[in-house]
Each structure stands twice: as C-alpha cells, then as structure tokens.
A = this chain, B = another copy of it.
C-alpha cells in the first residue's frame, strides 16, 4: 500500500460549488475510484487549499490512473472540477494535483 498526500488550490468564487459537488459525488465517480484501487480517500479544505489523502492498494498505479482518465464519466466530472481548481504554480510537468512528501507515518 502506498499513501499519497496531494495539494491544489480552489478558486474562492467556486468553493461553495466545489463543496456541494463533493457532498453529493456521482456514484459512478466513487465506483471508478474504488475500481482503480484507491481507498480511504479524503479531501480537506482550508485557506484556499485542498488537501487530498488516499491509499493506493493496487500494483500498477500508472495503469490504474490511465483507466480512470479514460473513463468518460470521470472526464465529465473533471471537466466541471478543473475550472474550480487552481493548480500550484510550481507543480511538476503533467501534474494537476501536486504530490507532497511523506515525512512521518505511524500505523
């Protein structure tokens, strides 16, 4: 299992909308996330920032991420979410959410 922490901004004018969408996530989105071997997935908000925590339990992360990105319903969801988000200026090439570095863990 690999743990991920990721950071992205959310535009102030879309915060309420972003929260509302996430309080009623489409069933197909959650189903696809689970199918792609992601579990215990939370998103937290504060001060213009979204922090995502999730656990990847599969054995081919890139293939699972491609499976997710190829899913039409997920593409539809992202097309609504992306304009609300503000990716970090110093993000790596190809990143949307930016990976953080794990500096501590206790089971």
Contact = CB atoms under 8 A, between A and B. Distances in A.
Interface of A: 3, 5, 7, 18-19, 22-23, 25, 30, 33-34, 38-47, 49-51, 53, 88, 90, 98-107
Copies of the polypeptide in the assembly? 2
Given A22-B104, A39-B106, A41-B106, A5 B49 contact: no
A47 B88 contact: yes
A102 B44 contact: yes
B45 A101 contact: yes
A74 to B, nearest CB: 14
Contacts of A7: 46-47, 49, 51
Given A7-B49, A88-B47, A18 B106 contact: no
